[in-house]
Chain A
Amino acid sequence: MDGTPNQAAGEHKLPAEHYLNATYGIRSWLLTTDHKRIALLYLASVTFFFFVGGIFATLIRIHLLTPSGLLVTPETYNKLFTMHGVAMIFFFLIPSIPAVLGNFLIPIMIGAKDLAFPKINLLSWYIYIIGGCFVLYSFCTGGLDTGWTFYTPLSSIYSNSAVTPAVIGIFINGFSSILTGLNFLVTVHTMRAPGMTWFRLPLFVWSHYATSLIMILGTPVIAITLLLAGLERMFHFGFFNPAYGGDPILFQHLFWFYSHPAVYIMILPAMGVVSEIIPTFVRKPIFGYSFIAASSIGIAVIGFIVWAHHMFVTGEATYAAIAFSFLSYLVAIPSAVKVFNWTSTLYKGSVSWETPMLYALGFIGLFTIGGLTGLFLACLGLDIHLHDTYFVIAHFHYIMVGGAVMGYVGGLHFWWPKITGRLYPEYLARAAAIILFVGFNLTFFPQFILGGLGMPRRYHNYPPEFQVLNVMSTAGASILALGYLLPMVYLTWSMRYGKIAGPNPWPSTGLEWKTASPPLTENFHETPVVDWEPYDFVHRPDLGLSGAKAPGKLAPAHGDD
């Protein structure tokens, strides 16, 4: 925050016209085709679903305070963890970074006026809302108790909860994801500004490119799978029903063919965010640009051939299991490439500790723990012990909450000045980041131990000797809740009262920082021409870096690969 001439107080003014004040009224929002406004529509709606899912999580943690369960009946408990998963995965994690930050930033980062298909972009938001309404209807009329995985025949025959509307909702919502991915792919291919070559793309764009590949190749499969499960529930078709000779394991294969790559839909964009934040606050080009870009694609590709590691205990063929175990280990390589490159970027960098950087560093640590524990689960023998225990829950949440959500909140802070034109209160934000980190670890680290000791997931009660660890986890969850409420409050506050940010408050090197904050509706007054390498702080006098950060003291761009 300090030491940069851009930061002198009171120097900046909001631009006279920008995308927020270009037009007014509810119609100008609901019928907008501006990618930035659609991003804000998504921001509001994913935040809503985050709190819906968060309420369920809170109830789960309160219930598990005592060994016999404190709050709800076993049936309600089943519904709580199911609805927590459905709301968080399908309606928060999958759209969060791509549909909010990706939507807002990708066109600006590549120097375009908008996405390739602005109307389809708006359509995808409406599809999301319609799908969300179906799911909320299911939540309100009997709830959902199948687990977010919808395994048959529980979901297709035995469950007495409102499965049909939920399946329809998720089916519909899938098309929102497909259209977003399609839009991003086409945009990156055809809408780049002059000089914005593929290897000048910000890594955020690369990671979204990989994410979009998964979205368009994976999501149709979950759509047809849920359609078949829904048909089976509604019309008693027998695809997955052993009574008719159908195969319930086939459902699991089809489900995980999407749902494993889907975790990369959730984590890859967060990796993109981290790849943007780190060079900015190290004042150094990112180490191994092309390796990070390629590893995004690598994760997307390998991610498609590991799905059956979710099914080691279903009795699948031993040789198939060995192959899937090996391939699952393989995913660790591109993931580790990223982690090593981020840490190498820190080396001899001029590190500063602004809020987004705290989130990025938190991400690296938590993602590493989540990733390494993933290797435990990819190990055939060990997985038999750890399968369906809290170890899996802890692993998953280290990746999803410690990784994806940290990345999302960090990215929100990083680009908040661009989105709103104003800065949030820095010290409060740093405090919130630390509270989040502490709360997160206190919540989920005990669950690793619980899982190792054999506490199964999805049970409404547990043996008394597990109580201490469960109480720790619940205590952590309440700290975590505070950590999420704080940014909600001060980010909202800063929209009106925050200090004016100026176009490039950090400063950072991307194209998005060369336009006004907030940007005008067309993003740029004239189409920019890119003649610099990515993350180059040396040949960029326009960044205004001086003193210890002057050229000569800065590492060269692309010095390493």
Chain B
Amino acid sequence: MHRTGELYGQYKTLDQQKETATFGMWIFLVTEILFFGGLFLTYTINRHEFPTAFGIAGNMLDLNLGFGNTIVLIASSFTMAMSVWSAQTSRKKAIPVWLIATLALGSVFLGIKVVEYKQKFDHHLVPGYHFDVTYCSNNPSACGLSGKELEDERKEVREYIEAEKEYAKQLGLSDPSAGIAAVNAHAQLYFSLYFGMTGLHALHMIVGAGLLLWLIVQSLKGRFDANYNTPVENIGLYWHFVDIVWIFLFPLLYLINRHLA
């Protein structure tokens, strides 16, 4: 196995071997950018199409959890960079320490994500039969809403429903539920994208956590030093990439049209 940095048959030098692996990783990240790119495009077009619904729905996300996760993830990027640096400078004892810290921060991120998803389930914000964008303004205690925040949300939702009703009237639809149906549909679109994008990101985090686990085991065996650290470096590249995806997701999903209560 390719663990101790011995030269593989198809390569001529260790330098070539390392260059090849790193180049391959960069190309893989290019494919990842395009993979997420399709989702970002879908999001952008729908946001452009339904700015009001997306604004209201975006305000229903928990900013504290989202912001906390951003900090956690940036910190994990730092610890990952430190483990790459430790490997490059042959600080063999430090490598697993930094890797474990990275894994821990990654797990905290995923844990917070679980809490957040659970909250969305409780607030009837998961796309499907029970989706109801008015649930929180109708049941403020269940969502922990009160004061100005509650008033704002009620007002926004009510105004939006009225606007959609008006639009339905213009189209000649007399159905009284047309307004709320449209609002729910568009908000549901936002949450479909929210779960799609954060879910795919979380999946990448889980894959990253598995890779880190493997790195930790290998680094405890002392495999990595200044001469051989390609896996640490490449998995580091992957980890940073997943972080950057979140750096884009956070403002797109949480911050646009945000009014702080």
Contacts and interface: CB of A to CB of B under 8 A. Distances in A.
Nearest to A113: B10
Interface stretch (B32-40, B75-83, B97-105): B32-40
Interface stretch (B19-27, B214-222, B227-235): B19-27
A246 B193 CA distance: 11
A219 B247 CA distance: 24
A88 interface: no
Contacts of B31: 178, 182, 216-217, 219-220
A221 B39 CA distance: 9
Contact of B10 (A191, A217, A237): A191
Interface in A212-239: 216-221, 223-225, 228, 231, 235-239
Contact of A228 (B33, B36, B38, B186): B38
A254 B10 contact: no
Nearest to B126: A235
A115 B9 CA distance: 11
B46 A245 contact: yes
A522 B10 CA distance: 8
Contacts of B193: 239
A220 B34 contact: yes
A114 B46 CA distance: 46
Given A224-B36, A239-B189, A247 B46 contact: yes
B42 A221 contact: no
B42 A228 contact: yes
Interface string B162-195: 0000000000000000000010011011001101
Of the listed residues B31, B37, B41, B50, the one surrounded by the most CB atoms of chain A closer than 10 A to its CB is: B31
A138 B185 CA distance: 31
A254 B41 contact: yes
A250 interface: yes
B35 A224 contact: yes
A527 B49 contact: no
Contacts of B195: 237
Interface in B190-221: 192-193, 195-196
Interface string B2-23: 0000000111100010011001
Nearest to B9: A113
B236 interface: no
A112 interface: yes
Nearest to A523: B10
Contacts of B147: none
Contacts of A228: 38-39, 42, 196
Given A235-B128, A237-B196, A247-B46, A217 B185 contact: no
B35 A221 contact: yes
Nearest to A247: B45
Given A224-B39, A245-B49, A190 B23 contact: yes
A116 B10 contact: yes
Interface size classification for chain A: 35 or more
Interface of B is mostly: helix
B30 interface: yes
Given A220-B34, A220-B35, A235-B128, A243 B185 contact: yes
A246 B186 CA distance: 8
Nearest to B19: A190
Given A221-B38, A235-B128, A239-B193, A191 B20 contact: yes
B28 interface: yes
Contacts of A254: 38, 41-42
Contacts of B50: 245
Contacts of A114: 9-10
A247 B19 CA distance: 43
A117 interface: yes
B127 interface: yes
Contacts of A191: 10-11, 16, 20
A485 interface: no
A466 to B, nearest CB: 40
A522 B182 CA distance: 64
Contacts of A219: 31
Interface string B32-68: 1111111101100110011001000000000000000
B153 to A, nearest CB: 21
B231 to A, nearest CB: 14
Given A117-B24, A245-B49, A239 B30 contact: no
Contact of A182 (B9, B27, B128): B27
Contacts of B53: 245
Contact of B27 (A216, A218, A239, A250): A216
B171 to A, nearest CB: 14
A244 interface: yes
B47 to A, nearest CB: 12
A27 interface: no
Contact of B185 (A185, A186, A231, A244): A244
Contact of B45 (A113, A120, A250): A250
A348 interface: no
Given A216-B31, A221-B38, A225-B38, A239 B10 contact: no
B204 to A, nearest CB: 13
A430 to B, nearest CB: 38
Interface in A167-186: 178, 182-183, 185-186
B24 A186 contact: yes
Interface string A94-115: 0000000000000100001111
A551 interface: no
A185 B23 CA distance: 9
A245 B10 contact: no
Contact of B127 (A178, A185, A235, A250): A235
B20 A116 contact: yes
Contacts of A120: 24
Contact of A246 (B32, B36, B37, B46): B46
A238 B38 contact: no
- A178, A189, A224, A231 interface centre (most CB from chain B within 10 Å): A224
A246 B41 CA distance: 13
A183 B31 CA distance: 13
A118 interface: yes
Nearest to B41: A254
A247 B188 CA distance: 14
A124 B45 CA distance: 33
A550 B166 CA distance: 87
Contacts of A239: 42, 46, 189, 192-193, 196
Interface centre among A115, A190, A236 (most CB of B within 10 A): A190
Nearest to B35: A220
A118 B185 CA distance: 48
B38 A224 contact: yes
B46 A217 contact: no
Given A221-B35, A224-B39, A527-B12, 15 more contacts: A113-B9, A114-B10, A116-B24, A183-B24, A189-B23, A190-B16, A190-B19, A191-B16, A217-B31, A220-B32, A220-B35, A223-B35, A224-B36, A228-B42, A239-B189
Query: Top 8 closest A-B pairs, CB basis?
Result: A224-B38, A220-B35, A237-B192, A114-B10, A220-B34, A244-B185, A113-B10, A190-B20
6 contacts: A117-B24, A216-B34, A218-B34, A221-B37, A243-B185, A245-B50
